[in-house]
């Protein structure tokens, strides 16, 4: 079974009708003498960046068009992303039957890959394997390096996180507490706001959909201003945050999901704040940090095992429910990290 792209999304929100689920026969026995590996795909990661790959192939400023991980999907072919897989047969010296890996994965039940590259061996299967799509995978590294490296937090600083209950945001909030900061999160439902306060330990949280005046809401939460903003949504939120930044504040520009389905990005009006408050805004792409995976794991695995960091996941069961799960990221349907469970083992 595969999830294929039927049609590019020229503008606006993608719909389930852009995708199809097809079946094809596959021979899982790798030919003798080949360096191919046959994988059973267990968990697939739904990630906001995948929206850009649904757009037709045109030049986009700043995007590396040569990188197949970020180039548009091909019509009629399975879409791909990150996931957790198990080796079921291998002709490759680095992989043997039963090995567990995470990395680039097609949205299909089984894959055969010639000479696989860039996959991470799963070092510790005693934690839930789905964690390698989230807290122990790409979103975990995004939160970790995007917060610690880009923001250099100090004890007592004031931190704001948007899309705070999601795959990345829930971790940033917990890291901020570990660093001794005061942290506030925004999210799109009251259920998520409860999670932020009662599960992830945010000091304060609000539902941005129920707030008429974001600037006033931020002033209530941060009477002394914001030292660190972890930017996940962009648009009106960024504009309101800019009005509330403190001198020498830092903004980690991680993503701007509110803009991904717009034909024209919204304008940002309060940029002068950057000058007179000496604010540093720094973007980053997590793949630059992949060589530091071992360092990241060295921190995260103990934190998970000691109960210092918790993680909430949202499972869609079965490949056929994958498209709806992916699209749900753009309406806020997911509560926590959105995963597609293709097979549990
Ligand atoms: P999430 O798990 O947080 O899912 C996306 C969430 O975004 C939704 O649940 C929804 O939550 C919120 N959202 C959707 N549309 C809007 C909107 N119009 N306005 C405000 N919020 C919206 O996703 P991730 O944690 O995986 O990703 C968070 C951000 O991090 C994204 O911007 C993503 O692109 C970025 N990212 C960047 C990386 C990098 O290398 N720079 C790597 C990975 C992620 P709610 O109900 O709260 O609205």
Which atom of ligand 1 lies at the shortest distance from residue 259's CA? Answer: 18
What number of CA atoms fall less than 13 Å from residue 123's CA on the CB side? 11
CA of 27 to the centre of ligand 1 (A): 38
- Residue in the structure block whose two tokens are 């949280």: 205
- Residue in the structure block whose two tokens are 């490949």: 319
Domain boundaries, the chain: 2-134+311-341, 138-287
Quick check: CB of 234 below 6 Å from ligand 1? no
Bridge partners (DSSP) listed for residue 185: 161, 205
CA of 168 to the centre of ligand 1 (A): 8
Per-residue confidence (pLDDT) for residue 287, from 0 to 100:
96
CA of 44 to the centre of ligand 1 (A): 17
CA of 155 to the centre of ligand 1 (A): 26
- pTM, whole model, 2 decimals? 0.96
**What is the 3-class SS of 172-223, one letter each residue?**
HHHHHHHCCCEEEEEECCHHHHHHHHHCCCCCEEEEHHHCCCHHHHHHHHCC
Question: CB of 238 within 8 A of CB of 160?
Answer: no
CATH code matching the domain that covers 138-287, chosen among 3.50.50.60, 3.40.710.10, 3.40.50.720, 1.20.1600.10: 3.40.50.720
Question: CB of 174 within 8 A of CB of 201?
Answer: yes
Question: Residue 44: exposed, middle, or buried by beta-carbon count in 10 A (0-12, 13-18, 19+)?
Answer: buried
Distances (CA, A) of 51 to 5, 83, 95, 162, 257: 12, 17, 31, 19, 10
CATH code matching the domain that covers 2-134+311-341, chosen among 3.90.1150.10, 2.40.240.20, 1.10.10.60, 3.90.180.10: 3.90.180.10
Distance CA 313, CA 167 (A): 8
Give the pairing type, strands 280-283 and 245-253. Answer: parallel
Per-residue confidence (pLDDT) for residue 189, from 0 to 100:
98
- Geometric angle at alpha carbon 198, from 197 and 204, rounded to 5°: 15
Residues of the chain where predicted confidence (pLDDT) is lower than 70? 59-68
Quick check: CB of 4 below 6 Å from ligand 1? no
Quick check: CB of 142 below 6 Å from ligand 1? yes
Per-residue confidence (pLDDT) for residue 70, from 0 to 100:
79
Quick check: CB of 332 below 6 Å from ligand 1? yes
Quick check: CB of 188 below 6 Å from ligand 1? yes
- What's CA 165's distance to the chain center, in Å? 12
Q: Quick one: CA dihedral 179, 180, 185, 190, positive or negative?
A: positive
Which atom of ligand 1 lies at the shortest distance from residue 209's CA? Answer: 48
Mutate to test the pocket of ligand 1, among 48, 144, 194 (most ligand atoms within 8 A of CB): 48
Question: Residue 168: exposed, middle, or buried by beta-carbon count in 10 A (0-12, 13-18, 19+)?
Answer: buried
Quick check: CB of 284 below 6 Å from ligand 1? yes
Q: Which two tokens stand for residue 129?
A: 């394997």
Which atom of ligand 1 lies at the shortest distance from residue 235's CA? Answer: 19
Q: Which bin fits 18, alpha (ψ -120 to 50), beta or left (φ > 0)? A: alpha
Question: CB of 222 within 8 A of CB of 198?
Answer: no
Q: Which two tokens stand for residue 232?
A: 């996940």
Per-residue confidence (pLDDT) for residue 67, from 0 to 100:
65
Buried b (16+ CB within 10 A) or exposed e, 225-260: bbbbbbbbbbbebbbbbbbbbbeebbbbbbbbbbeb
Which atom of ligand 1 lies at the shortest distance from residue 142's CA? Answer: 42
Distances (CA, A) of 195 to 137, 139, 190, 335: 22, 19, 9, 9
Per-residue confidence (pLDDT) for residue 185, from 0 to 100:
98
- The interface pTM score, or ipTM, of the predicted complex is 0.99
Quick check: CB of 139 below 6 Å from ligand 1? yes
Go through the chain and tell me how many residues it has.
Answer: 345
- Residue whose C-alpha is closest to residue 278's, from 313, 257, 249: 249
- Residue in the structure block whose two tokens are 């701007």: 256
Q: What digits encode the pLDDT tens for the residues 309-325? A: 999 999 999 999 999 99
Closest residue by Cα to atom 35, ligand 1, is 255
């Amino acid at each position: 079974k595969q999830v294929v792209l039927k049609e590019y999304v020229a503008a606006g929100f993608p719909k389930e009708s852009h995708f199809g689920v097809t079946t094809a026969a596959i021979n899982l026995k790798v030919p003798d003498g080949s360096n191919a590996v046959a994988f059973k795909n267990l968990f697939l990661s739904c990630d906001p960046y995948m929206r850009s790959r649904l757009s037709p192939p045109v030049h986009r400023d700043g995007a590396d068009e040569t990188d197949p991980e970020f180039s548009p999907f091909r019509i009629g072919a399975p879409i791909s992303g990150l996931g957790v897989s198990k080796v079921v047969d291998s002709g490759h010296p680095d992989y043997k039957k039963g090995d567990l890996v995470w990395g680039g994965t097609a949205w299909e039940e089984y894959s055969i890959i010639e000479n696989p590259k860039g996959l991470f061996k799963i070092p510790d299967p005693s934690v839930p394997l789905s964690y390698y799509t989230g807290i122990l995978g790409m979103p975990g590294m995004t939160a970790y390096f995007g917060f610690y490296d880009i923001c250099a937090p100090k004890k007592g600083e004031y931190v704001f996180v948007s899309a705070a209950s999601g795959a990345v945001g829930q971790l940033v909030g917990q890291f901020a507490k570990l660093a001794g900061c005061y942290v506030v999160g925004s999210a799109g439902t009251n259920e998520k706001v409860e999670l932020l306060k009662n599960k992830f330990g945010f000091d304060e949280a609000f539902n941005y959909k129920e707030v008429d005046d974001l600037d006033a809401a931020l002033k209530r939460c941060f009477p002394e201003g914001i030292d660190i903003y972890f930017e996940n949504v962009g648009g009106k939120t960024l504009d309101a945050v800019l009005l509330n930044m403190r001198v020498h504040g830092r903004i980690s520009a991680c993503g701007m999901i509110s803009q991904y389905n717009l034909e024209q990005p919204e304008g940002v009006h309060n940029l002068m704040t950057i000058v007179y408050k000496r604010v540093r805004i720094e973007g980053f792409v997590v793949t630059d940090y992949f060589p530091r995976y071992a360092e990241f794991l060295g921190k995260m695995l103990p934190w998970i095992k000691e109960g210092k960091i918790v993680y909430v996941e949202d499972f869609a069961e079965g490949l056929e429910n994958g498209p709806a799960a992916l699209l749900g990221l753009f309406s806020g349907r997911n509560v926590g990290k959105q995963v597609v469970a293709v097979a549990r083992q």
